[in-house]
Amino acid sequence: MEDQRLRVAITGIGFVTPLGCDLETVWSSLTQGRSGVGPITLFDASAFPTRIAAEVHGFDPGRFMDRKLARRVPRYCQLAVAAAIQALDDAGLDPSADPDEIGVIVSTAVGGQERVEANHEALLRHGVHAVSPLTVTTTTNSAAGLVALQCGCGGPNYAITSACASSAHGLGEAAEIVRRGDAGAMLAGGAEATITPLTIAAFCQLRAMSQRNDHPEQACRPFDLDRDGFVMAEGAVMMVLEDLDAARRRGARVRAVLTGFGASSDMYHLTAPRPDGRGAVRAMRRALAKAGVRPEEVDYVNAHATATRVGDVAEVRALKEVFGPHASILAVSSTKSMHGHLMGAAGAMEAACCVLAIERGVVPPTINLERPDPECDLDFVPNRARPAVVRTAISNSFGFGGHNACLVFEAADRKPVSGC
């Protein structure tokens, strides 16, 4: 029997990213293969081994909230509110009509890190009275609460934190909330602002980030033989998820449908992925099974691929295991090559890339792929976007701690498979 509850519509998307702060600018950057990576300007990184990142430029929080409030909340909260307002506007959805029917999940890996660092320094230099009481707003749930407050959303409200898989888990759980009828719509996604001295220093010590400081636009090189680590990024991406039938009744534009969500644990290491990709395999297979999609029906994969030596190869092995012979003709790209690694917001960013690839019939490229690693031998859509009919796409997100999440998106007019 067909399970119509599995069809949750994506009706709105909002972006505040290194590639732009609105949908059309972001999409243009993605299809043109433009890099958002440059020198770090948010603090003096001259003494750091890595001095590059993908920052959000030209962002004015005062366009989206009271300027006094903007000064009182962490940067990741500012970014989240801006993306949420854009997503609601894109969806044509007004929460004031029925606030309790719209919930919010804003996922993040870290939260208000820059405020934590600043107040810790104030404590050490000047004592307890120098610490702002608003330091309590740096917690990982603060953005979800602020978005609900600013947008008037009275439904389920919380954050999900699972490192770099956070917002993929958030989108998947938001869809489950809609499916079980606990909200008519969910505003869900992720926000992160971790280009800070302590965070960058920690990842430098881990030797996980690229040190291609002289050529930042070429630094993020997923699947390339010369890759030397990921590039830190900041930003927020939010989506509106609704019951498909309800969205159609109100005349909403349905960009795509989220039909499958799978999650798993590597049970392997605190920072490294399983080399054989078995945890990722389980997440992908669960997502496809829930969606009722056969592996050979998938047209595009937005890979987690961060440009680390071990991670990229592990994901390729997982893709080959899941897709078998179809893997050789499947379009796979890592858009992190352009926008960098948004950490807790990465899953939402890459899910949005899948939605737009389905809607607009273009697969974004993997840029900087000049010498493919022999162990990474799939079709990674190198360097140029590709027109393609994309009916089904999946987005992979894997986080430190072995957290894996996979989302399946389909064209709105694709019929669900009976019996799944």
Give the pair of three-digit tokens for residue 191: 């926000």
CA–CA separation, 42 and 197 (whole Å): 9
The candidate with the shortest Cα–Cα distance to 232, out of 190, 204, 253, is: 204
* 368 domain-assigned: yes
Is 133 buried (19+), middle (13-18) or exposed (0-12) by CB count in 10 A?
exposed
Cα Rg, the chain, nearest whole Å: 20
Q: Containing domain of residue 300, as a range?
A: 259-410
Examine the domain organization and report whether 326 and 405 are in the same domain: yes
**pLDDT given for residue 273 in this prediction:** 86
Answer with the one of 249, 268, 290 that is the final residue of a domain: 249
DSSP 59-99: --GGGTS-HHHHHHS-HHHHHHHHHHHHHHHHHT--GGGSG
CB neighbour list of residue 343: distance below 8 Å, 6 or more residues apart = 108, 109, 110, 163, 164, 166, 192, 194, 232, 233
In the 3-class helix/strand/coil scheme, how is 298-345 assigned residue by residue?
Answer: CCEEECCCCCCHHHHHHHHHHHHHHHHHHHHHCEEECCHHHHCECHHH
Per residue in 323-344, pLDDT tens? 999 999 999 999 999 999 999 9
Examine the domain organization and report whether 166 and 191 are in the same domain: yes
Examine the domain organization and report whether 290 and 326 are in the same domain: yes
* 254 domain-assigned: no
**pLDDT given for residue 4 in this prediction:** 46
**pLDDT given for residue 377 in this prediction:** 97
* 17 domain-assigned: yes
Examine the domain organization and report whether 275 and 234 are in the same domain: no
Examine the domain organization and report whether 226 and 311 are in the same domain: no
**pLDDT given for residue 309 in this prediction:** 95
Dihedral pair phi/psi, residue 15, rounded to 5°: -125, 135
**pLDDT given for residue 418 in this prediction:** 43
**pLDDT given for residue 137 in this prediction:** 85
CA–CA separation, 107 and 238 (whole Å): 10
Give the pair of three-digit tokens for residue 417: 């498979």
Ranges of the chain whose pLDDT falls below 50: 1-5, 418-420
Examine the domain organization and report whether 79 and 206 are in the same domain: yes
Pairing of strands 157-158, 102-107: parallel
Examine the domain organization and report whether 41 and 156 are in the same domain: yes
Answer with the one of 220, 249, 278 that is the final residue of a domain: 249
CA–CA separation, 398 and 418 (whole Å): 30
**CA 224 centroid distance within chain:** 22
**Which amino acids are annotated catalytic?**
164, 304, 341
* 183 domain-assigned: yes
CA–CA separation, 320 and 213 (whole Å): 33
**pLDDT given for residue 197 in this prediction:** 98
User: Quick one: DSSP state of residue 175?
Assistant: H
Examine the domain organization and report whether 105 and 73 are in the same domain: yes
Answer with the one of 226, 249, 272 that is the final residue of a domain: 249
Examine the domain organization and report whether 203 and 139 are in the same domain: yes
Examine the domain organization and report whether 206 and 306 are in the same domain: no
CA–CA separation, 127 and 320 (whole Å): 56
**CA 141 centroid distance within chain:** 17
CA–CA separation, 341 and 356 (whole Å): 19
Per residue in 145-158, pLDDT tens? 999 999 999 999 99
pTM across the whole model = 0.95
